[in-house]
Chain A
């Protein structure tokens, strides 16, 4: 017999098997999910959830798909949070410190409470990556924030109204486009293909009779 525990979904009590994730507990209780359910595997951030264990003061942020239920867990899902996304043209902006000031000036109102970090469903050091963004250290911000699933729990907890995931996304795009060195072998290959340098090679393979093509495939040299 499976161990059963009590969870409170939006305050209402349900008794569910203790092995379930929060998302599965909703479904076990009879919810047909539309919102608050996405990849079901911790990558998309659709199932942001806030919970508290009865009698404890601490609030926790998590993803419902990747967190097991606990006894006396009070659960509220946060399927949408109004993050502020600023519009910009990636071709026109530059990775200067000013761009953050222009687009997301509220990051300079951070009071250092660290509630964002404590709430992060991915256990990222959110306050630290915001500090990097403040200083224009975009590469560090990008690395620190890389595993962000943009669930928005950090922003829900922020007294300064910062949209952390959007700040991090801007930092990552600036890093990818402007700060990381160009992949020269890639740009050269694109040019070569555009110039038709590979056309003959591709067509030669395409024109092979099936048996010859199979032989080529079965005997091809595989890079070590």
Chain B
């Protein structure tokens, strides 16, 4: 099979190959704290102030956020002008979970376990979520040389010490029990013949604590959680989206206005507690970046919660995964798991030179790649410049057949387009991957609004200003379960007053007062990729 690379790329591949043997066993120097600060400031997209603007209305007024997000936060409500009968809800439950990814499913299982009458509504199908696409693994400090305290240090440092300490504490202390819970539900983790979890490094980890299920880690977890939701008979209303939250006249959460995405039917769900588990925002394509995210990742939960009065945290920090696919076009922006680097593949420029350590934290690694391309050392492809990720190193280090066994998803993804990553390096460039910020919560999972819980990527603060690999799968399980447990307890003592959407009107009035005039309607629901004629 001939490799579908241009002649120029193939020339460069020869240089990559020439230095390969010398790279085996060589560890590039890691950057100092000062070097990291400089490289971030000069290259990371979060520092590109032209792409941010100031929020004018609501709890975070005066703070910055990406332009696309600010526009959606301050857009028109989808219920504007509608006459919605809040007194006769279609659904009446204890706990309403919005979102059917890993966090939503974990929350549902625990709320069900806690005896609550719980229901999931999800925009697409249950499991259509970023969880399904998480490839590399899940962190937990369960090895002899590791501890939750060591994990805590890595999380804080990786997040530039901006993380909310009580949330990090919960993340790391509940980590082992989260993995144990999944293990006992039947998730097939990579283990040796004695049952010892096979763990590797991720960018910014000081211990090998990355647990994986090949490179289908998230998919394997999601398949099992979804199966468990079905086994428990938890109702899942799919292809149905929440378009506004409902409160009661005392200011507590009271449910959500739902819309059938296929028929546009409007329904009301009354609930004593609501859990937002709507995930991230990659499909907003901040700064024009491609994304590794799921089709439904449009920050809907942030818009709903913000309009209802919940404060956001670190809404101005995004994660650009260093290794998105740069070439070929069909998988442009798709994720190349960090595990490829955990297993030894290095970044190499067009001249065959290693220019940085492969396992710096994601923000630093992404900045390093952007800088190397700016310096003119990028690999030219028909879609722009990228950097080689020297994947043939993996089998050279660990033995033939390793890549196929440990990275089957990656291998398959590239083989579909005639590229055998065991034989030739692949071209990567940063891709919009993760919403570091989100809705502020306390350690019990609750937002500023009474009985409104948040879990998963929609939460802000756990990861500070940068998340480490493997802490997202961990966070959706830890905080998903936590939200489900807390809500199932809390709902027993909740008495709802009359339901109202007055907060939506108030927010619209505030926007009008601030002089915001827009045709835009939010939440966005889905991106539009139709050809613009």
Interface residues of A (CB under 8 A from B): 19-21, 24, 27-35, 37-44, 46, 66-68, 85, 87-90, 122-123, 142, 146-147, 149-150, 169, 172-177, 180-187, 189-190, 193-194, 198, 201-202, 204-206, 210, 213-214, 216-218, 220-223
Contacts and interface: CB of A to CB of B under 8 A. Distances in A.
B526 interface: yes
Contact of B197 (A24, A183, A201, A217): A183
A31 B408 CA distance: 32
A174 B258 CA distance: 37
Interface residues of B, number: 84
7 contacts: A19-B329, A44-B219, A177-B185, A186-B183, A190-B142, A190-B180, A202-B172
A205 B150 CA distance: 9
Given A201-B147, A202-B149, A223 B206 contact: yes
B355 interface: no
Given A39-B294, A187-B180, A90 B413 contact: no
B148 interface: yes
B149 A205 contact: yes
Given A34-B262, A90-B186, A186-B142, A39 B295 contact: yes
A122 B143 contact: no
B95 to A, nearest CB: 21
Interface in B112-137: 124-125, 127-128, 132-133
A39 B161 contact: no
Given A32-B526, A44-B127, A172 B206 contact: no
B216 A220 contact: no
Contacts of A184: 195-196
A169 B227 contact: yes
The 6 closest A-B pairs by CB, nearest first: A173-B186, A181-B195, A217-B157, A176-B186, A177-B186, A201-B149
B351 interface: no
A97 to B, nearest CB: 18
Candidate in A32, A68, A172, A221 with the most chain B CB atoms within 10 angstroms = A172
Contacts of B194: 181
Interface in B214-234: 214, 216, 218-220, 223-224, 227-228, 230-231, 233
A34 B188 CA distance: 31
A142 B188 contact: yes
Interface of B: 32-33, 124-125, 127-128, 132-133, 140-145, 147-150, 152-154, 156-157, 161, 165, 169, 172-173, 176-177, 179-180, 183-189, 191, 193-197, 201, 205-208, 214, 216, 218-220, 223-224, 227-228, 230-231, 233, 239, 261-262, 292, 294-295, 329-331, 334-335, 408-409, 412-413, 416-417, 526, 528-531
Contacts of A223: 145, 201, 206-208
Contacts of B169: 202, 206
B132 A44 contact: yes
A122 B526 contact: no
B530 A34 contact: no
Contacts of B156: 213, 217
Given A169-B223, A214-B161, A222-B206, A176 B148 contact: no
A129 to B, nearest CB: 14
Contacts of A44: 127-128, 132-133, 219, 294
B128 A46 contact: yes
Contact of B177 (A89, A190, A222): A190
B530 A27 contact: yes
Given A38-B132, A202-B152, A206-B169, A28 B262 contact: no
A42 B206 contact: no
Contacts of B233: 87
Contacts of B334: 40-41
Given A41-B335, A202-B169, A223-B207, A32 B186 contact: no
